[in-house]
Amino acid sequence: MKFRPQGYATAYSATGLRRKLTRYATVAGREVVEKALWLFYAAQSPDTPRWARTAIYGALGYFIFPLDAIPDFAAVIGYTDDLGVLAAALATVSMYVTEDVKNRTRQSMDRWFGPAPSPQ
């Protein structure tokens, strides 16, 4: 299956992303939610160019879209394909994931999951 961000970009909406995260954040897990939020906040930045937003919206559209390579309701592995697509988009647009984007993500993550466990 070849990933084409332009096709999934039409499935993206901020409301759809919010709905997906609200319903499935704990099921998807911290890592998936963190990556999705990095992309979401990076897309909001006026410094992020159109080509990067297209890649971001494509990845977020794939995350939102109910029919994907591995259905999200599949126990344990349901979000592995989503994580792969989010990670690929992040690798492509990583220069737009600024400290501001990470701080905004951290604040959202703390609200949903509580503070991240400190490394020991």
Each residue's pLDDT, cut to its tens digit, for the chain (120 residues) gives 444 555 666 678 888 888 888 877 777 788 888 999 999 999 999 999 999 999 999 999 888 876 654 554 444 556 777 888 899 999 999 999 999 999 999 999 888 888 777 666
- Cβ-proximal residues to 39 (8 Å cutoff; 6+ apart), any chain: 56, 59, 60, 86, 89, 90, 93, 97
Where residue 70 falls (left for φ over 0; alpha for ψ -120 to 50; beta otherwise) is beta
Q: Which of 52, 51, 29 is nearest to 98 (CA)?
A: 52
pLDDT of residue 8: 67
Q: Which of 102, 7, 110 is nearest to 60 (CA)?
A: 7
Residue with tokens 């503070």: 115
Q: What is the DSSP letter of 78?
A: T
Q: How far is CA 107 from CA 24, 46, 92, 111, 113, in A?
A: 18, 20, 24, 6, 10
Distance of CA 35 to the CA centre of its chain: 5
Instruction: Enter the pTM of the model.
Output: 0.79
The dihedral sign for the CA sequence 17, 21, 22, 27: positive
pLDDT of residue 66: 65
